[in-house]
Amino acid sequence: MSQAIRAALFAPHVNSNFAFIVPNIMSPGFDAQPEALAVNLTLMEVSQEKTGGPYINFHLIFHGPDILLAQGNYLARHEKLGDNDFFIVPIGEIKNEQKAVTGYQYQSCYSVKPEK
């Protein structure tokens, strides 16, 4: 990403999909090649920036399908922002009216030093 990481960079992309690349487990055998799976997460919220000391803090909330992604760093592809790395943490389940889990919520937090 060539632009500075700020909430304003992500705000115009609320309700758009990011394809998070998840490596599949390699099948047994020495010649097996790892495959990758793309899981679409929708950016649902960009928080307001808050200042904490010399840093600017904000977070992103994503909603995804009923495939639980582990906490960790992922490459994500977006049609306008390109490829970016996100550290995401699962923060909750999305349930339907029958209380069945239909997806998961994730958060990505940022604490950045403003450019001068």
CB atoms within 10 A of CB 85: 10
pLDDT at 34 (0 to 100): 58
DSSP state of 24: P
Intra-chain end-to-end CA distance of the chain, in Å: 18
Point out the residues of the chain with pLDDT beneath 50.
Answer: 1-2, 27, 30
